[in-house]
Homo-oligomer: A and B are copies of this chain.
Amino acid sequence: MPDDIADELPHALNVLWGRAKPKGRGRTPALSLERIVAAAVALADEEGLAALSMARLAERLGCAPMSLYRHVAGKDDLQLFMLAAAPGPPPEFGTAPADWRGSLSRWAVELFGVYLRHPWIVQLVNSPPVDPGQLAWLDAALRSLGGTPLDPRARFSVVMLVLHYVRGAAQLLTYMTAEPEEGADGAYAALLTELADPGRFPALAGAVEAGVFAPHPEAGPDDDFRAGLDHLLDGVGVAIERAARA
């Protein structure tokens, strides 16, 4: 256990991994890290990431802005805590589930739900995960492929592929759905209808004409996501069969 590494890490990491020193002496805290993070998550959920400022967060907590800095080293620290706490635990399955497709699919669908509930997560991810929460999700995804003949590098590649897709699809759906100002539902479709000149963008104009951007009534919004996910998992299946033959 090289502590020299821990010393040069951000404060937040040492707290997240349970390496913070216990204290019990002084004044009774009116604030706690959990309360701060929970309030920050709620604020970001309700009003968006741009509305999350230390001042507004303190206002919501009924304290002075500078009080927050006793529990959080800075705004980056706070966002790291939010990222670790908001997703919750990943779905449960064993180390080598027999049905890789079902497991990985469930993982993807649940993560998709997390991103829809907390759209700010997608805008916030700047670096590879280093907190227990995100690593637990990553581990679960890797475990879903534990029963397949894929080698470790291929498993990681597949997981990243699914992760990128889930993130992108959630971001797209979030921005297509959440525009309660003005036309709302079909605003982007209407805009594209006017902008997609058939001479300049023939394929795009064709897609618009075919109603790709119009909301289809008989299907839920997850439907497009599931369709793309099926394409993706078909490709993974091909890779698995190929690896099994070798």
A interface, CB within 8 angstroms of B: 1-2, 5, 8, 17, 95, 123, 126-128, 130, 132, 135-136, 138-140, 142-143, 146, 151-158, 160-161, 163-165, 167-169, 172, 175-176, 182, 188, 190-191, 194-196, 200-204, 206-207, 210-212, 224, 227-228, 231-239
Knowing A168-B164, A188-B128, the reply to whether A157 touches B231 (Cβ < 8 A) is yes
B95–A207 touching, CB < 8 Å? no
A203–B139 touching, CB < 8 Å? yes
Copies of the protein in its oligomer: 2
Question: What 7 new A-B contacts, CB under 8 Å, besides A233-B235, A238-B238?
Answer: A156-B207, A160-B172, A231-B235, A232-B235, A234-B239, A235-B238, A237-B238
Main secondary structure of the interface of A (DSSP, over half): helix
Alpha-carbon separation in the docked complex, A142 to B176 (Å): 20
Give A182's nearest chain B residue, CB to CB: B8
Give A196's nearest chain B residue, CB to CB: B135
Name the 3 nearest CB pairs between A and B, nearest first: A235-B235, A164-B168, A142-B203
B234–A128 touching, CB < 8 Å? no
Shortest CB-to-CB span from A130 to chain B, Å, is 6
B138–A195 touching, CB < 8 Å? no
Alpha-carbon separation in the docked complex, A224 to B128 (Å): 16
B234–A191 touching, CB < 8 Å? no
B167–A168 touching, CB < 8 Å? yes
Alpha-carbon separation in the docked complex, A200 to B140 (Å): 11
Residues of the B chain whose Cβ atoms lie less than 8 Å from the Cβ of A212: 152-153, 156
Knowing A153-B210, A161-B228, A228-B160, the reply to whether A201 touches B139 (Cβ < 8 A) is yes
Contact residue among B194, B200, B232 (Cβ-Cβ distance under 8 Å from A161): B232
Give A161's nearest chain B residue, CB to CB: B228
Alpha-carbon separation in the docked complex, A153 to B190 (Å): 17
